[in-house]
Amino acid sequence: MSQRSCLSVILAAGEGTRMKSAMPKVLHAIAGLPMVAHVVKAAEAAGATGLALVIGHGAEEMRKAAQKFAPKAETFVQEKRLGTAHAVLAAREAISKGYDDILVMFGDTPLIDAGALAAARQKLAEGAAVAVIGFRPPNPTGYGRLIEKGGRLTAIREEKDCSEAEKKIGFCNAGMMAVAGKHALRLLDKVGNNNAKGEFYLTDIAEIAGAEGLDVVATEAGFENALGINNRAELAEAEGIWQARRRREAMLAGVTLIAPETVHFSHDTEIGADTIVEPNVWFGLGVKISTGATIHAFSHLTGATIGENSEVGPFARLRPGADLRKKAKVGNFCEVKQSTVEEGAKVNHLTYIGDARVGAGANIGAGTITCNYDGYSKFFTDIGEGAFIGSNSSLVAPVSIGKGGYIASGSVITESVPDDALAFGRARQKTLPGKGKELRERFASVAAARKKAAE
């Protein structure tokens, strides 16, 4: 089958009015990726060599989005919504190019597994003209039933047309199918609209192909594969299923999730073996974690790279461009953005590091901030290897702290500090004996006067 060419036609023209959104339904995300992009990934994993997106509502928005997740896909607009077969024929130009296999999929079924698609394609390789993907829902009510006889699919019967015996069939139509390319256009063109809605139904090609003496079969996929998304409640349900799958994959790959149900992954999260993830951690887009790291509870990471045996959190925020090298540490209530924290460096408490380099082995004291923005432009702070930044210091960029430099606590540093130098940037302390008591008495008198006036 590996030598067979395959076109995946993905139907994504639905308006999705039940989503209550101005955005096309299939662009709503699961794990940070539009649901239609999940469908594209499954098609590609199943060997699709061509992609045709049939779009309608929000066509221009869809085209722009497709440039990111399917840059080689052809897009076709279904001007009028006249049924699923009519939608597939919107991609006539692509179908006519002579692909061996045509996969018909839906942009709102993001949990479809590549294995289910490959199984349908395998049936075509074995000689079938049409392979319909079926599933067994917990409750088949409302679904079209797959009627089989002698190992062949004889009909796809909508529930309203089923006999009482047929209603007891638990094998239902998932909507997706594979069609032999040499038969596809002919079968699609034979689909009529002689039905109550006057629409052209893709399911009719099963009976049309059977009437021609062609082999029509059904394959079975898991229930989740056919889960279509029509509203935000179903979107959340699909998100939960996707997350459960990904968590299990991570744990089986050697990652410890102490409370798996509280950890959120994005579709592109990379996490190495022997990493420990504590409860309530959020991995946004673009996170890469090497082996042996520890991510403590309530941390939020996006666009960050975490080196081997590094430690993050608890309550840490790593923003895009945060790059922690081997054995680096970013501790509680710290934020790092567009900065490198080199090997063994420590940013332990209540600190902001932005647009900076923290050299290997450096120690950043509690309450330190890099003042990287003047309201118009961003500036860089360079902290050298082994430097010690005392607590509650402000490093006003652009500035550099040399190798082994020492910054006294409470300093505001506006000029660069040479290697091994000690820098103070704070006002001289002045102590006035008895003045504290005098201030307390004055403040108490003012407060009493205000209280009396209010009465």
Alpha-helical segments (H) within 190-231: 204-211
Q: Compute CA distances 243 → 107, 176, 274, whole Å.
A: 19, 23, 20
Which residues, listed in sequence order, are joined to residue 35 by a DSSP beta bridge? Answer: none
The helix (H) or strand (E) run that includes residue 435 is helix 435-454
| C-beta of residue 410 within 8 angstroms of C-beta of residue 426 | yes
Contacts of 106 (CB under 8 A, 6+ apart): 10, 11, 12, 39, 175, 176, 228
Planar angle of CA 200, 206, 212, nearest 5 degrees: 110
- Choice among 86, 264, 267, 349 that is catalytic: 349
The helix (H) or strand (E) run that includes residue 441 is helix 435-454
| Residue 178, phi then psi, degrees to nearest 5 | -115, 135
Amino acid at 262: T
Q: Active site includes 349?
A: yes
Which residues, listed in sequence order, are joined to residue 349 by a DSSP beta bridge? Answer: 332
Q: Which residues are catalytic?
A: 349
